[in-house]
Structure 1
Amino acid sequence: MFDHHCTACDKRQLIFPSQITAMTNTEQGIVVSFTCWCGNAQTMVTGRAAARSEKVTLAA
């Protein structure tokens, strides 16, 4: 459960797991798609962004 400010109805609502329609891993983070109580589809990006594969050399 999390709260979200809906861009359609302009209300802050609690979103329950039953309202989630998809979760997708992207380079920006996890995109959670869900349906607001007003019936409009919404998305929210959460979680850590994907790890970068940069090599780091530590001094000895």
Structure 2
Amino acid sequence: MFDHQCTACRKRQLIFSSQITGMANTDHGIVVSFTCWCGADQTMVTGNKAVSSSKVTLAA
């Protein structure tokens, strides 16, 4: 559960896991797609940016 201010109805609402419609790991972070209580499709970026494998250093 998290809170979100909807860009359509402008209300701040609690969003429950049953309202989540998708998640995608991107270069900008985790994009969570969900439906607001008013029916509007919304997205929110959360988490850390994805790490490129070229920037990872392995210990020998």
Structure 1 residue 24 corresponds to structure 2 residue 24: yes
Runs of 4+ in structure 1 deviating by more than 3 angstroms, as ranges, are: none
Partner of 2:7: 7
SS at match of 2:55: coil
Q: How many residues align?
A: 56
- For normalisation by structure 1, the TM-score amounts to 0.86
Q: Which runs of 5+ in 2 are unaligned?
A: none
After superposition, the CA RMSD in angstroms is 1.3
Give deviations 1:5-52, integer Å, cap 9, x for gaps. 000000100000000000000000000000000000000000110114
Q: Give the % identical residues.
A: 71
More helix by share: 2
The verdict on how the C-alpha distance between 1:19 and 1:55 changes in structure 2, with shifts beyond 3 A counting, is: closer
Q: Distance in 2 between matches of 1:55 and 1:18?
A: 36
Q: Distance in 2 between matches of 1:33 and 1:4?
A: 12
User: What is the CA-CA distance between 1:55 and the residue it aligns to?
Assistant: 6.1
